[in-house]
Homo-oligomer: A and B are copies of this chain.
Amino acid sequence: MGEPEPSEEDVMKVLIATDCHLGYAERDAVRGNDSFVTFEEILSTANTENVDIILLGGDLFHDNKPSRKTLHTCMQLLRKYCMGDKPVNIEFLSDQSENFKYNSFPFVNYEDPNLNISTPVFSIHGNHDDPAGQGNLCSLDLLSVSGLINYFGKCTDLDNVKISPLLMQKGETKLALYGLGSIRDERLHRMFREGKVSMLRPREDSETWFNLFVVHQNRSRHGLTNYLPEQFLDDFLDLVIWGHEHECRIKPEWNGQQNFYVCQPGSSVATSLCPGEAVPKCIGMLNIYKKSFKLSKIPLQTVRQFYIEDIVLSETSLNPEDPDIAERVLEYCCERVENLIDKAVSDHTGNIQLQV
């Protein structure tokens, strides 16, 4: 726009990803490691891109009670990639005992003098890894209590939800990060309609904050009330990171009614055979400078890509009168599948291979 590039010290670099579903298909002989390999790629990218923080949109785990192997691998990767001597340049301004009030150590991990954090991870929970059972804990609580991540957006009083933002500053940029972990869609829909959800705003210079909201709900309308309509959200927001939906629609979409952008990173592993999951998987590199942002997408290299094609037999040269038509159709379909496999091989030859 002709404006000078802001200095690096003023730009907050946030790596965004969601729905990593660690442990998905972990007993599958071929795909068993996929979720871990791609999570390692994400953390490794955070390091090479030298980001300030990693922001996850829920469903870090596939199962509410992940296997010991899954939990172990996750902890191993977080300790390997997110601890170290790189200084964290984010100043934390809000009341941490409020932001992390459900955590045993209610402060951000990189301010714990006993931990040497290089890249703080912030995460809300999704519907797969939501709190349950004794103590209303979830897997993210285990990562939080051991100091490996910063878990926020937990909400226990569903009669009166007040979302206090995490306030962070880097140079001239001030980020107000709002988060709300997954709540049953119908319930949240009703709570919004009844005015029971409110977002608190910083009193000082409230217009100067970049307001980012991360949420994990149905985005598309499956019925009257089992989704979260974008127009329910406050219009002071600048950007909404939408978790839960697996299709990668990472390019921010403008909502002209609410005057904010919505970015849907999509899952980093395909968990169902559908067109949405066949879209190439990406994570986002979000650069925030004061009230503006740039989001570039980083295609993931390790994802086992799904390919989907429609076959319309009437558009082929196959003759339905042919006495051997069944065999011809089979041959035709096999050929198309072989072509897709060739395409997959050619698309992915030379891609990085990570081994967890």
Chain A residues within CB distance 8 Å of chain B = 26-27, 65, 67-69, 71-72, 75-76, 79, 83-85, 104-105, 113-117, 133-135, 137-139, 141-142, 145-148
Which of B72, B83, B116, B145 is in CB contact (< 8 Å) with A135? B72
Q: Are B116's CB and A68's CB within 8 A?
A: no
Q: Contact at B105–A142, with CB atoms within 8 Å?
A: no
A113→B114 contact, CB < 8 A: no
Of all chain B residues, the one with the shortest Cβ separation from A27 is: B134
Q: Is B139's CB under 8 angstroms from A79's CB?
A: no
Q: Are A79 and B105 in contact (CB under 8 A)?
A: yes
Minimum C-beta distance from A254 to chain B (A): 41
Known A114-B84, A115-B114, A116-B114; contact A137-B75, beta-carbon cutoff 8 A: no
CB distance from A90 to the nearest CB of B (A): 18
Q: Could you say which of B69, B105, B137 contacts A137, with CB atoms under 8 Å apart?
A: B69
Least Cβ distance of A11 to chain B in Å? 26
Q: A184 CB to closest chain B CB, in angstroms?
A: 20
Would you call B115 and A68 a contact (CB within 8 A)?
no
Evaluate contact between B115 and A145: CB separation under 8 angstroms: no
Q: Which residue of B lies closest to A116 (CB)?
A: B114
B69 and A145: CB pair below 8 A?
A: no
CB neighbours (8 Å) of A148 from chain B are 146
Report the Cα distance A256→B195, complex, angstroms: 78
Min CB distance A33 to B, Å, is 11
One complex includes copies of this chain to the number of 2
Q: List 10 A-B contacts (CB under 8 A).
A: A65-B68, A68-B134, A68-B142, A69-B135, A69-B137, A72-B104, A79-B105, A83-B114, A114-B115, A115-B116
Give every chain B residue within 8 A of A146 (Cβ-Cβ): 75, 79, 146-148
Q: How far is the CA of A16 from the CA of B71 in the complex (A)?
A: 29
Which residue of B has the minimal Cβ distance to A26?
A: B134
Contact between chains at A141 and B72 (CB < 8 Å) = yes
* 4 closest residue pairs by CB, A with B: A114-B116, A146-B146, A83-B114, A69-B134
Nearest CB of B to A278, in Å:
29
A114-B116, A148-B146 known; A141 vs B68 contact (CB < 8 Å): yes
A105 to B105: give the CA distance in the assembly, Å.
24
Check A145–B68 contact: CB distance below 8 A: no
- Can you name the residue of chain B whose Cβ is closest to the Cβ of A71? B142
Closest chain-B Cβ to A77's Cβ sits at a distance in Å of 10
Chain B residues, CB < 8 A from A27: 134
In the complex, the answer to whether B114 meets A75 with C-beta atoms within 8 Å is: no
Contacts of A145 in B (CB 8 A): 72, 75-76, 79
What is the CA–CA distance of A335 and B68 in the complex, to the nearest angstrom? 50
Q: Write out the residue numbers on chain B whose beta carbons fall within 8 Å of the beta carbon of A84.
A: 114
Query: Nearest-CB distance from A223 to chain B (Å)?
Result: 32
A142 to B79, CA, bound (A): 12
B142→A72 contact, CB < 8 A: yes
Partner of A67, one of B26, B67, B117, B134: B134
Contacts A67-B133, A68-B135, A76-B145 aside, 19 further interface pairs with beta carbons under 8 A come to A68-B133, A69-B133, A69-B135, A72-B104, A72-B135, A75-B145, A76-B105, A79-B114, A79-B145, A79-B146, A79-B147, A83-B114, A84-B114, A85-B113, A113-B116, A114-B117, A115-B116, A142-B142, A146-B147
